[in-house]
Amino acid sequence: TAIIEARDAHLAFGQTPALRGATLAVGDGEIVAVMGPSGSGKSTLLHCLAGILVPDRGEILFDGARVDRLDETRRSTLRRDRFGFVFQFGQLVPELTAEDNVALPLLLGGARRADAVRRARSWFARLGLDGLEQRRSGELSGGQAQRVALARALVAEPRVLFADEPTGALDSLTGEQVMDLMVDAARANGTTVVIVTHEARVAAYADRQVIVRDGRVHALAGARGAS
């Protein structure tokens, strides 16, 4: 059964159509890669699924409930409590330590500082970040920063992780390390993952690959589990 779903979603930015009847159902615990050419609507679809954008027409469902009918405050709460986000870059607060960056979602969710820091720290060993807890995020390498971003996305144990070109700023070896860690952590926790990528190598980590073309979602012919 689907945990997150877009049904016939349409969205235009002014005169520019971005989604033109996008339909995608992602199963609970499934890892789906969303591929397709630049400008085809991949990010817009991800932002609609994640409750960042609301489609002009169509439905977005999380766990069977209509996300597109929620107001911005409730969608913001849903994002904070149920979703994790990893983007290409620019997501860490440079003045904060790596540890505080990871603890931030918990603190924003009302956790006590000591609890938030303890839970944040548990991710450092898990993601091969031991010893980097007190680094300012501006002093991390690209791969380290992306692993810290991954820890921050996962620390509140989201139901769904949304990753938009998570390896886009990394060399291929570092990108593969980040993908290995992301997929391992998601499988261990039963986290559903939606990854937007234009890299076939990254998409290969997913259970299923779909292609967005002109604002619509297509199964990748011949892909494992495509329907």
| Matching residue, tokens 């986000």 | 85
Q: How far lies 167's CA from each of 51, 86, 147, 178, in Å?
A: 23, 10, 11, 7
Residue among 44, 101, 137, 197 that touches ligand ADP (CB under 6 A): 44
Which residue from 30, 35, 36, 48 is in contact with ligand ADP, where contact means CB under 6 A?
Answer: 36
Q: Are strands 2-13 and 57-62 parallel, antiparallel or unpaired?
A: antiparallel
Using CB under 6 A, which of the segments 21-29, 36-44, 64-72, 172-180 binds ligand ADP?
Answer: 36-44
Rounded least distance, CB 52 to ligand ADP, Å:
5
Choose the binding region for ligand ADP from 21-29, 32-40, 140-148, 200-208 (rule: CB under 6 A).
Answer: 32-40
Give the distance between the most distant pair of CA atoms in the chain. 50
d(CA 189, CA 201): 23
Ramachandran angles phi, psi of 59, nearest 5°: -125, 145
For residues 67 to 106, the per-residue mask of contacts with ligand ADP, x marking binding by CB under 6 A and - elsewhere, is: ------------x-----x-xx------------------
**Which spans of this chain sit near ligand ADP (rule: CB under 6 A)?**
13, 16, 18, 36, 38-44, 47, 52, 79, 85, 87-88, 164
